[in-house]
Structure 1
Amino acid sequence: MPRPTPSPALESLRVLDLTRVRAGPTCARVFADFGADVIKIESPPGVDPNENMSGPRHGYDMQNLHRNKRSLTLNLKKPAAQAILREMIKSADLLIENFRPDVKERLGLDFETLHALNPRLILVSISGFGQSGPYRLRAGFDQIAQGMGGMMSVTGLPGQGPVRAGIAVADSAAGLYGAIGALVALQERAVSGKGQWVQTSLLEAQIAMMDFQAARYLVEGKVPPQAGNDHPYATPMGVYATRDGHINIGVGAEGHWKIFCEVIGRPELASDPRFDFVDKRYTARPELRVIIEEVLTTQDSAHWIAVFAEAGVPAGPIYTVDAMFEDPQVQHLGIAQPVSHPAIGDFRVVGEPVTLSRTPYGIVSPSPDAGEHNDELLAELGYDADAVERLRSEGAI
């Protein structure tokens, strides 16, 4: 496997990653993939009873979340470990954490304390419900945020009851919003010379991801219902049966509707007074679905995907994950990136979904073992071999 090239985009930054599970690591991963020196600070094995919340160290989740990082184990219950962290904070650009607010304060990682140590430091805090307010001390998990953030009320078939999304929407979104906030703060620091406190939460991120569904209520006062696989208000836009399965069709504009009717061999539908405007098609959705599927079930999915693509009608297959990675466009985009691990061999992880023309991201190393870089990082701080061994014997690292 050829040696990948690290990205130079953020190579001047040092990031202290005190996060775990998903939202915080997702935020830190953005900086690691774009070349920052991201140091994953974690408890020594056996100290934290919840250390395996992201699964086995060599498992798929840890490998996908923590690539490109260095690992330093610090037992922050020990004064010597606290002193090491304080020393590292003095020269860091960002500290990312997802402790409950009271835990951060108890550890002396509140913004005021950190700002006194390093006025240029940017603190990124990702919590379940926010740093203040009546729910600030509640433990937050993705599915809880999906429920409270409205997503489960609009997901699933009408009348089915609440349904969670099949991915960690709130976690991943909170991590990305945290990274956006950190990048904004870094740009502002280039002008002011000062760091600041960036805050986001799973709840806020999930509400933001509701986007037009949330705006629908805020602007028009309408509570969006479950719509299943159909678009909330456009038709035909959703999942339709074919002879050998199902496909997605996205006919949103009137121009697409006319072309669609021609392609399926029913041009008269375009001017049918029952269906000649999007609002009418929405009202007559069940009747229209029957008509469309009578045609679509005469041919296989591949046939319809090809003819719709040729005509410029938005449509696409519905893949399982394995089929998704076999798609020629997905392979062309290169989103599955190779990694080599000394213990588990060669595999692929999910790359960054953004391309920069001069300074693209690079995945250069797998997720580190806990404390893999202890000696290296402590040497950079001036600790000699004897001092490192004392820290180890004291249980500080």
Structure 2
Amino acid sequence: MASGALQGLRLVEMGQLIAGPFCGQLMADHGAEVIKIEAPGVGDPMREWGRNKPVWWPVVARNKKSITLNLRDPRGQEIVRKLVAKSDFLLENFRAGTMEKWNLGYDQLSATNPGLIMIRVTGFGQTGPYAPRAGYGSIGEAMGGIRNLAGDPSTPPSRVGLSIGDSLAATFACLGALMALQHRNRTGQGQVVDSAIYEAVLAMMESTIPEYTEAGFTRERTGAILPKVAPSNVYSTKDGEILIAANQDSVWKRMAEAMGRPELGSDARYATHHARGENQVELDAMIDAWTRTWSSGDLLAHLETHGVPGGKIYKASDMLEDPHFKAREAIIKVKHPAFQNLWMQNVFPKLSETPGEVAWAGPELGQHNEEIYGDILGMSRPQMTSLHDEGVI
């Protein structure tokens, strides 16, 4: 078993792709025993995802155990009920109403396990007129508002290049599950954690709602900047772009010193947050003209000596070579039968007394059938063989 703060807790994971399974990954990273249920002979589609090679699965399923089970078969549903009765959490990300259709709703499951915490991740939540709709991450991102703000104002709404809506909903689901666990520790009572993708995105939307209701202002796409927040932008150098964030008054004064123009720190056009915001375009142009005279490495070193935040815009290759990443073991090698040693991001956040770990990469389909069905549920080998032959497990 993986070590970590959640060791001793058992989570049964149902569903597929990212919105639910990333929640399971976070909990498995920190020591929970996560038993992933997959369709016999098929498995989670994430097993096939990746550019040229299926490398998503080893990450999103790391530290998890895989069993196969036909959830549409009443015998499979009965097995779920027995397994959940011995578990702390059930995680699912099917369309709302699917679990109830299978007689696996919270009322049925909590009848035999009152302390059960059921984690439900969907596009629109378990209630409301949109609840029955199919809801993918991209739709939640659009409805939650982030798509309208992503990209350049000269182009249609963009995406951030990641399944951010799914991952946010899964992260909020994990947060909710741990809140529910604390409640259960006090009362013994379980509950449902209802995490909707569009609401997880909405939670990240800062002041966009009151800006509209109180000031009639609708925030729109602004590319690489935040309007009226300056200087905080991407600037050119002799060998590429870097990002500089010197928008705080005290940091701007240090930036002016770094530029060899300390008088700009007290110049009325730039001395305050408001003034810099009003003169953002000319300020960015002035800084860009200066940064273009430097190589990126020399400039970043120079900014550091003046206490000005700056950095390269990293790609994977930069991360693998960066000494800070290496010192904190932010990216690690994990043993994998197909890839020998597979590089992947480590467990976050770092806990001083109970750090999590990546004990193994994503398992083979049904790799833990015998352990779970035999050791936990007490099935005999003939029983397992029969259920396998009949397509149940």
Q: Which TM-score band (shorter chain)?
A: over 0.9
1:388 to 380, 384, 387: 384
Q: Which residue does 1:359 correspond to in 2?
A: 354
Contact 1:263 1:311 in 2 (8 A): yes
Matched, 1:52 2:45: yes
Query: Equivalent residue for 2:6?
Result: 10
How is 1:285-364 mapped onto 2 (pairs within 5 angstroms)? 285-364=280-359
How far apart in 2 are the matches of 1:356 and 1:20?
28
Secondary structure of residue in 2 paired with 1:163? coil
Q: Determine whether 1:168 maps to 2:163.
A: yes
State how 1:188-207 maps to structure 2 within 5 Å: 188-207=183-202
Q: Distance in 1 between matches of 2:269 and 2:68?
A: 67
Deviation, 1:341, is 1.8
CA distance in 2: counterparts of 1:163 and 1:313, whole angstroms = 30
Segment drifting more, 276-285 vs 257-266: 276-285
Using the alignment, how far apart are the partners of 1:221 and 1:45 within structure 2?
A: 55
| Equivalent in the alignment of 1:368 | 363
Tell me by how many angstroms 1:221 deviates.
4.2
Helix, strand or coil for the counterpart of 1:249? Answer: strand
Asked whether the equivalents of residues 228 and 278 of structure 2 are also in contact (C-alpha less than 8 Å), the reply is: no
Q: Deviations over 1:351-386 (max 9, x none)?
A: 222111111001111111111111121111111111
Contact kept? 2:77, 2:103, Cα under 8 Å? no
User: What are the Cα deviations for residues 72-123 of structure 1, in whole angstroms up to 9, with x where unaligned?
Assistant: 1001222322221111111110000001112121112211111112111100
Instruction: Confirm whether residue 228 of structure 1 aligns to residue 223 of structure 2.
Output: yes
Secondary structure in structure 1 of the residue aligned to 2:334: strand
TM-score for both structures, normalised by structure 1: 0.93
Question: How does the TM-score come out when normalised to structure 2?
Answer: 0.94
Alpha-carbon spacing, 1:56–1:240, altered in 2? closer, same or farther (3 Å) = closer
C-alpha distance in structure 2 between counterparts of 1:325 and 1:25, whole Å: 26
- For 1:150-299, what aligned pairs fall within 5 Å after superposition? 150-214=145-209, 216-217=211-212, 220-299=215-294
The answer to whether the 8 Å contact 2:65/2:368 transfers is yes
Q: Quick check: 1:20–1:54 contact (8 Å CA) kept in 2? A: no
What aligned pairs does 1:78-117 form with structure 2 within 5 A after superposition? 78-117=73-112
Deviation of 1:162 (Å): 0.9
The 1:214/1:238 distance shift into structure 2, 3 A limit, reads farther
Question: Are the equivalent residues in 2 in contact too, given 1:56–1:62 (CA < 8 A)?
Answer: yes
Unmatched 5+ stretches in structure 2: none
C-alpha distance in 2 between matches for 1:186 and 1:390: 37
- Which residue is equivalent to 1:70? 65
Alpha-carbon distance, 1:325 to partner: 2.4
In the TM superposition, what is the alpha-carbon distance from 1:268 to its structure 2 partner?
2.6
One-letter code of the match for 1:52?
A: P
In the alignment, structure 1 residue 27 sits paired with structure 2 residue 23:
yes
Amino acid aligned to 1:294:
A
- 1:213 and 1:251, CA in 2 relative to 1: closer, same or farther beyond 3 A? farther
User: Displacement, 1:286?
Assistant: 1.8
Relative to structure 1, the CA distance from residue 270 to residue 24 in structure 2 (aligned partners, 3 Å threshold; closer, same or farther) is: same
Aligned length: 390
- Between the aligned partners of 1:154 and 1:194, the Cα distance in structure 2 is 41
Asked if structure 2 preserves the Cα contact closer than 8 Å seen for 1:173 and 1:209, the reply is no
Deviations 1:13-50 (A, max 9, x none): 1110002110111111122111111100111014x7xx
1:215 positional shift = 5.2
Flag structure 1 segments of 5+ consecutive residues without an equivalent. Answer: none
Contact preservation (8 Å) 1:248, 1:316: yes
State the one-letter code of the partner of 2:221: Q
Cα distance in 2 for residues equivalent to 1:56 and 1:384 = 35
SS in 1 for 2:48: coil
